[in-house]
């Protein structure tokens, strides 16, 4: 079945209620290309964090702009391309969260990008006139 | 997502069913705030029926743990944590922050 | 018949699986005596997996309740009582003697 | 199926380990004649109490004598006949337990005959040279 129905693209409203639909869309793709339960969960997590960031940081709120997601199947990997038309940012400037901190000092935020980087095999941001594009690659075993 | 809170003699049990993401995490935070604002700081969170938790959910857990552990007045413990969510907690470095119990009864019995 | 005892902070949980009759009731009594002889008098008995209980079993429950309630030091409560056993307790006039909880967690949370 | 395989008789060792086998034997009969779950439980209880009494009181201990049980199906009732060869007693002399008592005063014993009388429709004891016979009748609805 690998390859059938790919690439597939869907556009979602940029609000938090879309997150469950977005999860269903990428889980379906991850399942079809043969990912197991935990790999699917890692993909779901990375995409959820990326889309939450788009709504919160790129658009600065709900229902300001749309999110377009494309799933591409390749022999050795699943590629997920997430596009938005909000403000850009410099991902290199965002450090990993401090894991040494005491409970009281834990910031609690800053985990999203960290999860994306840890659980995906490749993470590429590109910012151009036609919006911001995040490419996530998860390799098949 | 559904949240059910049950007050027991020594602790409150909060059972969450569904997905905890940026959209639903605020409702979890509210449910937990209702408990801590009532002066109750011993809380069992039953995650057995939670299929997904993003960093927004982890943030709620950590915030509530901060509130509860302050002045040694209580603690949040987790019951029946699904393996995927355990992996998230682990990646975030949060495993040492929460006692975890295999079943809800043992978690309630801890208080 | 199998008996599993689990000590929690405020109470002991005793889960019985199988048939409580004149042959097996003495083993239930022994398991309960081990707890009360350790000076612990708050006991939850989980009957969810008990398919039959004769008067020998009821006698064990009542004897243990006497021991536990003495000096106001504790209490036996029952969790997940099957309908047939509830009918037996009722016929014996023992329903008023035991608090009953639908689930084990609520029973442990009572103490 | 009513009537098929009835009457059926089985003899058990007079010890407490037999009680589960005895229960299985009478439950099977009660189920075959169409009793529901609670009626089966009432029959199981009455027979268990009767056989426990035989071991404890008629024989005065385990493995002293045997217990023979016959199940008879009739159009309107199930009849269970329990026979032992231990000492006899006067059932009329046994009062119902006192249900008013405080927890501390509750005797705890004396419930067996009470359960038998309450949950069976007919209860007849007969004592003769060939042992003691208890006949229990449970009517079909
Ligand atoms: N899509 C985005 N657009 C703009 N800024 C972003 C985006 N994603 C992340 N950021 C910036 O990176 C920071 C870290 O993001 P993240 O690790 O997801 O944690 P959090 O969202 O909890 O702050 C954010 O606070 C924000 O400043
Ligand atoms: N089969 C029997 N043979 C002799 N005595 C019996 C028998 N069944 C009952 N009894 C007498 O009747 C009393 C009441 O019996 P029962 O109601 O079953 O309660 P328990 O066995 O707990 O005393 C017994 O204590 C015993 O003295």
DSSP output for B16-60: EEEEESTTTHHHHHHHHHHHHHTT--EEEEEEEEEEEE-HHHHHH
Q: Do D119 and C84 touch (CB under 8 A)?
A: no
Q: What does the pLDDT look like over C79-95, one tens digit per residue?
A: 999 999 999 999 999 99
Residues from chain C that touch D109, judged by Cβ atoms under 8 A, are 55, 59
Chain D contact probe: residue of C32, C47, C52, C55 with most D CBs at under 10 A: C55
**Which own/partner contact pairs does D36-45 have at CB distance under 8 Å and 24+ positions apart?**
D37/C84, D38/C83, D38/C84, D38/C87, D39/D138, D39/D141, D41/C52, D41/C84, D41/C87, D42/D119, D42/D120, D42/D138, D43/D78, D43/D80, D43/D119, D43/D120, D43/D136, D43/D138, D44/C52, D45/C52, D45/C54, D45/C88, D45/D115, D45/D119
Give the gap in angstroms from C-alpha B94 to the nearest C-alpha of chain C: 25
Structural tokens at position B91:
């990646």
Give the per-residue pLDDT at C85.
98
Kindly tell me if the per-residue pLDDT of A1 is higher than 50: no
Place of tokens 């979602």: A12
Question: What count of Cα atoms within 13 Å lies in the side-chain half-sphere of residue C79?
Answer: 21
Q: How far is C70 from chain D (nearest CA, A)?
A: 9
DSSP for C42-53?
EEEEEEEEEEEE
Quote the pLDDT of residue D101: 67
Mean pLDDT for the stretch of residues D81-91: 96
pLDDT interval class at D4 (50, 70, 90): confident
User: What token pair was written down for D86?
Assistant: 């231990």
pLDDT, mean of residues D30-44: 97
Residue to probe by mutation, ligand 2, list D14, D16, D53, D98, most atoms within 8 Å of CB: D53
Percent of chain A at pLDDT above 70? Answer: 96
Of the given ranges (A20-29, A124-133, B4-13, C32-41), which has the lowest mean pLDDT?
Answer: A124-133
Which chain A residues in 20-39 lie under 8 Å from chain B, judged by CB atoms? 20, 23, 37-38
For residue A101, what pLDDT is reported?
67
**Best CA proximity match to C92, nearest among A69, D114, B92, A50:** D114
- What local confidence, expressed as pLDDT, does residue D100 receive? 66
The answer to whether the CB of D118 is under 6 A from ligand 2 is no
Q: Label residue D40 by pLDDT band (50, 70, 90).
A: very high
Kindly give the parts of chain B with pLDDT less than 70: none
pLDDT band at A110 (very low <50, low <70, confident <90, very high): confident
Beta bridge partners of C45: C14, C78
Residues of B with CB under 8 A from a CB of A: 19, 21-24, 52, 54-56, 58-59, 62-63, 65-66, 69, 83-84, 87-88, 91-93, 97
Q: How far is the CA of D53 from the centre of ligand 2 (A)?
A: 5
As for ligand 1, residues whose beta carbon falls within 6 Å of it are A 49, 53-54, 57-58, 89, 94, 109-114
Residue nearest to atom 12 of ligand 1 (CA): A94
Predicted pLDDT at D42: 98
Distance in Å, CA D92 to ligand 1 centroid: 86
Number of H helices, E strands in chain C: 4, 5
Q: How far is C44 from chain D (nearest CA, A)?
A: 18
Q: Say yes or no to pLDDT of D17 above 60.
A: yes
Q: How far apart are CA A126 and CA A72, in angstroms?
A: 18
Query: Per-residue pLDDT averaged across D29-44, rounded?
Result: 97
Half-sphere exposure for C19 (CA within 13 Å, toward CB): 16
**Confidence class of residue A90 from pLDDT cuts 50, 70 and 90?**
very high
pLDDT (average), residues D33-54? 98
Chain position carrying tokens 């023992």 = C94
* Most ligand 1 atoms within 8 A of CB, residue of A46, A57, A127 to mutate: A57
End-to-end CA distance of chain D: 17
**Looking at residue D102, what is its pLDDT?**
80
Residue A106 reports pLDDT greater than 90: no
Q: Give D1's pLDDT tier (boundaries 50, 70, 90).
A: very low
What's the pLDDT tens digit per position in C8-17? 999 999 999 9
In angstroms, the CA D4 to CA C106 distance is 48
**Chains touching chain B at 3 or more Cβ pairs under 8 angstroms?**
A, C
Q: What is the pTM of this model?
A: 0.89
Chain C positions touching D115 (Cβ under 8 A) are: 55, 88, 91-92
Name the residue at shortest CA distance from atom 25 of ligand 1.
Answer: A110
By Cβ distance, the residue of C9, C106, C111 closest to B110 is C9
The complex's ipTM?
0.87
pLDDT score recorded for residue A3: 61
Closest CA to A86 of A44, A56, A112: A56
Of C55-64, C80-89, D75-84, D96-105, the range with the lowest mean pLDDT is: D96-105
Digit-coded pLDDT (tens) for A41-71 = 999 999 999 999 999 999 999 999 999 999 9
Q: Which chain B residue has the Cα nearest residue A56? A: B22
Q: How far apart are CA B54 and CA C25, in angstroms?
A: 50
Alpha-carbon distance of D14 to A20, in angstroms, equals 65
Retrieve residue B16's tokens.
Answer: 């969450």
User: Do the bridges between strand A8-13 and strand C12-20 make them parallel or antiparallel, or are there none, so unpaired?
Assistant: unpaired
Q: What is the CA radius of gyration of chain A?
A: 15
Confidence bin at A105 (pLDDT 50/70/90): confident
Atom of ligand 2 nearest to the CA of D86: 3
Mutate: best of C9, C40, C105, partner B, most B CBs <10 A: C105
List chain C pLDDT tens, one digit each, 111 residues. 999 999 999 999 999 999 999 999 999 999 999 999 999 999 999 999 999 999 999 999 999 999 999 999 999 999 999 999 999 999 999 999 999 999 999 999 999
Q: What is the rounded distance in angstroms from the CA atom of residue A81 to the CA atom of residue D44?
A: 67
User: What integer pLDDT is reported at residue D108 of this predicted model?
Assistant: 73
Q: Which of D12, D41, D61, D67 is the best substitution to test chain C (most C C-beta atoms within 10 A)? A: D41
Mean pLDDT, rounded, for D84-112 = 86
Burial-class residue A76 by CB neighbours within 10 Å (0-12, 13-18, 19+). exposed
């Amino acid at each position: 079945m690998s390859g059938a129905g790919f690439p597939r693209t869907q556009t979602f409203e940029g609000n938090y209620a879309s997150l469950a639909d977005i999860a269903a869309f990428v889980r379906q793709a991850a399942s079809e290309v043969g990912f197991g339960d935990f790999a699917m969960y890692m993909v779901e997590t990375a995409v959820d964090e990326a889309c939450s960031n788009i709504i919160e940081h790129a658009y600065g709120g709900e229902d300001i702009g749309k999110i377009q997601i494309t799933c591409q199947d390749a022999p050795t990997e699943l590629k997920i391309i997430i596009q938005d038309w909000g403000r850009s940012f410099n991902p290199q400037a965002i450090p990993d969260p401090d894991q040494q901190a005491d409970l009281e000092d834990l910031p609690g935020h800053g985990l999203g990008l960290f999860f994306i980087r840890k659980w995906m095999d490749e993470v590429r941001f590109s910012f151009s006139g036609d919006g911001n594009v995040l490419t996530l690659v998860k390799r098949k075993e | 997502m559904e949240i059910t809170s049950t007050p027991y003699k020594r602790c409150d049990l909060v059972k969450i069913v569904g997905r905890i993401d940026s959209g639903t995490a605020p409702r979890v935070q509210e449910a937990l705030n209702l408990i801590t604002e009532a002066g109750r700081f011993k809380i069992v969170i039953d995650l057995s029926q939670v299929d997904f938790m993003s960093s927004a959910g982890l943030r709620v857990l950590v915030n509530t743990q901060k509130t509860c552990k302050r002045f040694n007045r209580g603690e949040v413990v987790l019951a029946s944590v699904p393996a995927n969510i355990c992996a998230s907690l682990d990646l975030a470095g949060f495993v040492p922050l929460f006692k975890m119990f295999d079943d809800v009864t043992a978690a309630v019995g801890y208080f």
